[in-house]
């Protein structure tokens, strides 16, 4: 059995219901909107976030309509932010197919993202749980806040690891944290339990983003985006920040500054990538990721050993070990 | 006393509370986000929509926290859609100052709009009224749907008045309809009453948009945007559609087709504008607007005569007679 099958096996029925709900929500009379939505739906992704909502709910109780609509709301919000991020990053590809902005144009992509955000709001209301609505609204604010922070940070001169963690918390970790928090809220868990599971999701999210940032140093074609892509967008992530702050060197600082100013050539980016690799940047980032993995595991292992806990353990391993 | 003072006099306390709530919601630690939000706040607009929520609530009862948060949610949603529309329309000006996309760039404008949408969601949750949440979510879907429809329609060859009404319903009238519906829902009115007031708002919204479209034929500098602006964006509105469908002429059809294809020169647009004026397009649009005004008045006059009803009557007159 592969990891994804193992992870989703306790919530297969729920995932079927989710898929049905998700697809039914994306039907409109508007031809242009419909064709954009159909394009997005072609590649559904691995449903990592709905699975996390359902497994968290199952860890404490069962999956009810609150969890189902919370998962739909979160997935729509996530999908909307991907559509808008591709405009921001001027990406032409998403999950191995053309991005909405590339297939149509930026205008259509802005509006399709807005439609998805409104659909997210619709499902948040259908949870009929004000705590969940607040989680999703706050998440929406943090995701855009995080992206703006990243935009602003590109033009900053510093190489702060602190700012990096603030960005990945607001950009990625909050989404995973919202999934586990909503899962816990859907079964009306205690405040203490909700906070514990929120943190559990946050740690997984931090691992997820560090892994994503490490991918950018990989030469594999499998990951679906070219190596050094972040640097082409002016972004310096954990491996480079570590080296910049701990292995001071005039040449690398010059290169990193050029990257931040969107001034670096392909060759210079390749030089910086190989410098970071040689100076142990990847190993450092992996070690930090492992620390967060351990924190997530510590929380998970406080729950009774059962099929759901096992799935969540494989979930964490999968986030760390996935090939893309 | 000018019209706006007269309109808002029954809800002055509520508008103060609203302003306070609205401003407090737009504070973040993120410098770039904050400066964009401060820029948007500089020109608050005439608060036509919050006033409509409050007056409708007052027509049936009093203004409570549900109405207050509904008004905030609707105003944030409206502001977000303006920020995103300026990207779509490539506008550099909004309310006499630079648009967010012009002052910063499209990327920042996409994300600031998303932040405002999430803030709208936040306030919809704070109404703790699921009917109001659903009204706002549906509105969000319809607004983006309407804009996409308009984008698609630009490239259509037909000159259908039916499609025009579908677009203005989804693009503008739904917003006014949501204000009156939310106002009625905030005082827990009967289904029948809610529907009656929703229609009241829809009729006002249709008047508002037709008036806006007529402005585009005006030569006045007061309106804050150049004459023929819609045509420059490939949009044909009611005055032109009437003439195209009712005063068939080879030359005007050629010009209109060029407009739709974004192919018309400044001179050709000026020629089309003056053709439409001479053929009675403006008078026709004004007559249609008056029909909708009458429908709105018919509903309003079914309520007892009091200060609030008087304000709503002046509100309708103001929508029709406003100079910009």
Give pLDDT tens digits for A24-61: 887 777 888 888 888 888 776 789 999 999 999 999 99
Q: How far is A21 from chain B (nearest CA, A)?
A: 17
Q: What was the pLDDT predicted at A92?
A: 84
pLDDT in tens, A196-205: 999 999 999 9
Task: For residues B324 and B181, give the distance between their C-alpha atoms in angstroms, rounded to a whole number.
Answer: 26
Specify whether the CB–CB gap between A80 and A123 falls below 8 A: no
CB-based contact (8 Å) between B141 and chain A? Answer: yes
CA distance B35 to chain A (A): 12
| pLDDT for the residue numbered A250 | 87
Q: What is the pLDDT of residue B171?
A: 85
pLDDT band of residue B228 (cuts 50, 70, 90) is confident
Residue B37 is predicted with a pLDDT of 86
Contacts of A125 in chain B (CB under 8 A): 124, 130, 133-134, 137
Cα-Cα-Cα-Cα dihedral of B47, B53, B55, B56, to 10°? 150
Work out the pLDDT band at B209, boundaries 50, 70, 90: very high
- pLDDT at residue B157 in the model: 64
Q: Is A25 on the interface with B (CB under 8 A)?
A: no
Paired with B94 in beta bridges are B97
State whether A125 and B147 contact (CB < 8 Å): no
Q: What residues of chain B lie within 8 A of the CB of A73, using their CB?
A: none
> Residue B30: its pLDDT value, please?
84
Residue B1 clears pLDDT 90, i.e. is over it: no
Residue A219 has pLDDT above 80, yes or no: no
What's B11's DSSP letter?
G
A136: left (phi over 0), alpha (psi -120 to 50) or beta: alpha
DSSP string, A22-75: HHHTT--S-HHHHHHHHHHHHS----HHHHHHHHHHHHHS---HHHHHHHHHHH
**Cα-based distances in Å from A71 to A180, A309, A317, B33, B281:** 10, 19, 22, 28, 50
pLDDT tens for A143-173 read: 999 888 888 876 666 788 988 998 899 889 9
Question: Tens digits of per-residue pLDDT, B14-58?
Answer: 999 999 998 888 777 788 888 888 888 877 678 999 999 999 999
Inter-chain residue contact B108 with A149, CB threshold 8 Å:
no
CB atoms under 10 Å from CB of A234, counted, come to 18
pLDDT bin (cut points 50, 70, 90) of residue B143 is very high
Nearest to A115 among B122, B136, B141 (CB): B141
- Domain B3-321: CATH class, spelled out: mainly alpha
| Separation between Cα atoms, residue A191 and residue A291, nearest integer Å | 26
Is the model's pLDDT at A101 over the cut of 60? Answer: yes
> What is the per-residue pLDDT for B305?
96
From A257's Cα to the closest Cα of chain B, the distance in A is 21
Is A136 near chain B, with CB under 8 Å?
yes
Distance between A4 CA and the closest CA of chain B, angstroms:
32
A154: chain B residues, CB-CB within 8 Å? none
Which CATH number, 1.10.10.10, 2.40.50.140, 1.10.600.10, 2.60.120.430, labels domain A10-321? 1.10.600.10
* 3-state SS, residue B92: coil
pLDDT digits (tens, 9 = 90+) for B155-205: 666 788 988 998 899 889 999 999 999 999 999 999 999 999 999 999 999
Instruction: Report residue B95's pLDDT band, with 50, 70 and 90 as the boundaries.
Output: confident
Q: Quote the minimal CA–CA distance from A147 to chain B in Å.
A: 7
Share of chain A above pLDDT 70, in %: 95
User: For position B176, what pLDDT does the model report?
Assistant: 97
pLDDT confidence tier of residue B106, bands split at 50, 70 and 90: confident
- Check residue B233 and give its pLDDT: 84
> Inter-chain contact A84–B114, Cβ cutoff 8 Å?
yes
Mutate to test the interface with B, among A119, A124, A125, A185 (most CBs of B within 10 A): A125
Contacts of residue B320, defined as CB under 8 A and 6 or more positions apart, other chains included, come to: B207, B211, B289, B290, B293
Nearest to B121 among A87, A108, A121 (CB): A121
Q: Give pTM, 2 decimals.
A: 0.90
| Cβ contacts of B100 on chain A, cutoff 8 Å | none
CB contact under 8 A, B144 and A112: yes
Confidence of residue B222 (pLDDT cuts 50, 70, 90): low
Element of type H or E holding B94: strand B93-94
Give residue A2's pLDDT: 85
Distance from the A214 Cα atom to the nearest Cα atom in chain B, whole angstroms: 25
More confident of the two residues B28 and B208: B208
Q: Which is more confident, B97 or A131? A: A131
CB A183 within 8 A of CB A53: yes
Q: Which of B106, B111, B125 sits opposite A133 (nearest CB)?
A: B125
pLDDT digits (tens, 9 = 90+) for B254-287: 999 999 888 999 999 999 999 999 999 999 999 9
pLDDT average, residue stretch B81-106: 85
The pLDDT score that the predictor gives to residue A289 is 97
For residue A151, list chain B residues with Cβ-Cβ distance below 8 A. 32, 107-108, 111
> What residue segments make up the domains of chain A, in order of their start?
10-321
Across the range A90-118, mean pLDDT stands at 88
pLDDT number for residue B219: 74
Cross-strand bridge partners of residue A93: A98
B148 and A119: CB-CB below 8 Å? no
Which of A102-106, A301-305, B195-199 is predicted with the least confidence, judged by mean pLDDT? A102-106
- ipTM rounded to 2 decimals: 0.89
Residue A11: pLDDT band by 50, 70, 90 thresholds? very high
């Amino acid at each position: 059995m592969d990891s994804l099958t193992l992870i989703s096996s306790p919530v297969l029925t729920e995932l079927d219901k989710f898929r049905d709900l998700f697809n039914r929500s994306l039907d409109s009379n508007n031809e242009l909107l419909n064709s954009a939505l159909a394009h997005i739906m072609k590649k559904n992704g691995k449903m990592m976030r709905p699975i996390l909502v359902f497994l968290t709910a199952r860890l404490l109780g069962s999956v009810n309509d609150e969890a189902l609509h919370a998962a739909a709301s979160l997935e729509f919000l996530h999908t909307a932010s991907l559509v808008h991020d591709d405009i921001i990053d001027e990406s032409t590809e998403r999950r191995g197919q053309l991005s909405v902005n590339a297939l149509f144009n930026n205008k259509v992509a802005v509006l399709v993202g807005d439609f998805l955000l409104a659909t997210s709001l619709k499902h948040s209301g259908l949870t009929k749980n004000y705590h969940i609505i607040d989680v999703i609204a706050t998440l929406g604010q943090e995701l855009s806040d995080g992206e703006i922070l990243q935009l602003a940070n590109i033009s900053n001169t510093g190489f702060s690891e602190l700012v990096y963690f603030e960005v990945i918390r607001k950009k990625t970790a909050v989404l995973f944290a919202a999934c586990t928090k909503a899962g816990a809220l859907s079964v009306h868990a205690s405040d203490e339990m909700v906070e514990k599971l929120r943190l559990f999701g946050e740690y997984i999210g931090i691992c997820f983003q560090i892994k994503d940032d490490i991918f950018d140093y990989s030469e594999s074609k499998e990951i679906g985006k070219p190596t050094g892509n972040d640097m082409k967008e002016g972004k310096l992530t954990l491996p480079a920040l570590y080296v910049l702050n701990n292995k001071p060197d005039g040449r690398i600082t010059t290169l990193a500054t050029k990257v931040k100013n969107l001034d670096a050539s392909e060759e210079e980016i390749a030089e910086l990538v190989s410098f970071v690799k040689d100076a142990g940047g990847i190993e450092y980032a992996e070690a930090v990721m492992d620390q967060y993995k351990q924190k997530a595991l510590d929380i998970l292992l406080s729950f009774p050993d059962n099929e759901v806990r096992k799935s969540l353990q494989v979930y964490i391993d999968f986030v760390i070990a996935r090939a893309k």
